[in-house]
Amino acid sequence: MKLLKYYTYALIAMLYIPIIVMILYSFDNSKYFGEWNGFTLRWYEQLLHDTQAWSALKNSMVVAVLSAVISTAIAIPAALMARDREKDIVSLMIYPPVIIPEITEAVALMLLLIYLGFPLGLVSVLIGHTAFNIAYAYIALSPVGGTGARLAVAARTLGADRFTAFLKVTIPVSMPGIIAALGLTFMMSFTDFIKTLFTKGPGFDTLPILVWNRARRPGLTPYTSQPAIAALATTLILISIAIALAYTLYEVRRSEKQGEL
């Protein structure tokens, strides 16, 4: 049993050590990774004036927000389908994108976009993200979808028309699932690298792409020194943690009010 305990500790250490080391070196007053020259915030100050990073953050946000909203909106009607047999078929069709290797999806997307002669840029990246996010949104919504549809029927027996039932019952009842779907798809999109790389045009960078561009050719400019890259990557982690935390807080408060789903 003791062995198992140490094994678990070692496992957790392996998960976190690289990230902790990276975060530490983002505060390192040196141009090179691994050479500790004292604490500094200069890499973060530098980020504030880094127009490339700001533009990449804006691109990431725009793509992630739009993709989350669009994919969730598209997935809601599918998740609400009340009839179980049809629902089973939809569920069966919707899972494969989740298990197909991302690189395959990315290549397939790229080939299709080139075949169609579609201009590569924000819109192509958005389409790519959204197409696959629909599957994740559906999965996040399906636990509440059946309930939402069932309760809408109850609302109609009480005199509500279809639209009122949808607005006053289905949407609020499905809200935990909608929030989960928005959060999940936002994160999938915000942190995506491979699909973005294959569907973006020249000059359109998201944060993960910028990290990659700089990390593979480090050290040439102040922005591409190793601690500067560490600071940029740490920022990316902080944004992700903030969103996950906001979601957790929402879910805790909701379940206190409404009970477990």
Partner 1 sequence: MKGVEVYVEGITKKYGSTTALDGVTLRIPPSEITTLLGPSGCGKTTLLKIIAGLEPPTKGRVYFDGRDVTNLAPEKRNIGFVFQDLALFPHLNVFENVAFGLRVRRVPEAEVKKRVYWALDLVGLDPSEFARRRIHELSGGQQQRVAIARALVIEPAVLLLDEPFAHLDYKIKQRLLLQLKRIQRETGATVVYVTHDQNEAMAVSHKIAVMNNGKILQVGSPEEVYEKPNSSFVASFFGEANVLPGEGGFIVIRPERVLINPDRADTVYDAYIEDVVFQGPLLHIEARVNGKIIKIIKPRNGMVVKPGDKVRIGWLQKDVRVVPE
List residues binding partner 1 (CB under 8 A). 150-151, 153-161, 164, 168-169, 172-173, 175, 257-260
Q: Which is nearer to partner 1, 87 or 200 (CB)?
A: 87
Q: Distance between CA atoms of 183 and 65, rounded to whole angstroms?
A: 9
Q: Which is nearer to partner 1, 90 or 160 (CB)?
A: 160
CB of 259 to partner 1, least distance (A): 3
CB of 227 to partner 1, least distance (A): 48
- From 89, 41, 99, 91, select the one nearest 235 (Cα to Cα): 41
Task: Give me the helix-helix angle, 84-94 and 122-157, nearest 10°.
Answer: 160
Q: Which is nearer to partner 1, 74 or 151 (CB)?
A: 151
Cα–Cα distance list, 134 to 16, 26, 168, 180, 190 (Å): 31, 36, 24, 13, 15
CB of 233 to partner 1, least distance (A): 40
CB of 153 to partner 1, least distance (A): 6
- From 56, 59, 55, 66, select the one nearest 185 (Cα to Cα): 66
Q: Which is nearer to partner 1, 37 or 258 (CB)?
A: 258
Q: Distance between CA atoms of 191 and 193, rounded to whole angstroms?
A: 6
Residue 159, Ramachandran bin (φ over 0: left; ψ between -120 and 50: alpha; else beta)? left
Q: Which is nearer to partner 1, 121 or 146 (CB)?
A: 146
b/e per residue, 184-219, with b = 16+ CB within 10 A?
bbbbbbbbbeebbbbbbeeebbbbbbbbeebeeebe
CB of 147 to partner 1, least distance (A): 8
Q: Which is nearer to partner 1, 6 or 256 (CB)?
A: 256
CB of 74 to partner 1, least distance (A): 24
Q: Distance between CA atoms of 163 and 160, rounded to whole angstroms?
A: 8
